[in-house]
Amino acid sequence: MLSLQRQVIRVLCRPNIVSQASVKSVLRNFIFGSTNSLNMALSDDEARKVCIPPPPETEGFFFQQTMLRIKDPKKSLDFYSRVMGMSLLLKLDFPPMDFSLYFMGYENAADIPSDPKERARFCFSRKATLELTHNYGTEKEDKAVYHNGNSDPRGFGHIGIVVPDVYKSCERFEQLGVPFIKKPDGGKMKGLAFIQDPDGYWIEILNPQNMAK
């Protein structure tokens, strides 16, 4: 029996070989947590027991950033701003260590402070930002520099972006020449897409209403 994670990956990446009933079953279990007929490492009860209520000492913690290493900042910044609609929140350069950091996020550009210190405070107080790390010289490489985690040895999978309309967004992505892993109507599973950024990282394109069906 496949683990739940591998079943979901199989549905996403090879939908044509999975029946409609299997798609619904796997996604229902993935979203709502049922373990019927699934070979899982932890049962629902075991998972709930392991996940204790947040300790008081963690009050105020929040998820602030995900870091991706990028080959060419010109291509990545163009993609995440022009294609994905993010704003550049902060740029930090570290010449002695040969790298720069670019923090992207869904914030109104007019709200970003111009003062460097205030801008840094603003950036690091935002939730769910994307930190793009450029190690100087990688842009000169002819081949792909980084592994996206979706082929062996697997690791990192993808980031997810919520959009108002998956189909309209994907029509625009297609017009812009964005590569697709899965289009919204690809295979049996509808209303969900995966695209790739300039470094080949996967981006899930989703809408909460579609995910709850």
Report the relative pairing of strands 129-135 and 65-70 from DSSP bridges: parallel
Two tokens, residue 157 = 């999978």
> Three-state SS across 128-139?
CEEEEEEECCHH
- Residue 82 is assigned to a ligand binding site: no
Specify whether the CB–CB gap between 15 and 186 falls below 8 A. Answer: yes
- Residue 171 is assigned to a ligand binding site: no
Two tokens, residue 164 = 């108002």
- Residue 69 is assigned to a ligand binding site: yes
Q: Which of 74, 184, 66 is nearest to 126 (CA)?
A: 66
Exposed/middle/buried for residue 39 (C-beta within 10 Å: 0-12, 13-18, 19+): exposed
Residue 70 is inside which H or E element, if any? strand 65-70
Active site residue 204: yes
- Residue 119 is assigned to a ligand binding site: no
Specify whether the CB–CB gap between 89 and 104 falls below 8 A. Answer: yes
- Residue 189 is assigned to a ligand binding site: yes
Active-site entry in 59, 118, 174, 204: 204
The CA angle 109-110-112, to the nearest 5 degrees, is: 65
Q: How far apart are CA 61 and CA 80, in angstroms?
A: 26
Q: Which residue has the tokens 């609609």?
A: 85
Annotated binding site for substrate: 65, 69, 135, 154, 158, 188-189
Catalytic residue set = 204
Annotated binding site for Zn(2+): 65, 131, 158, 204
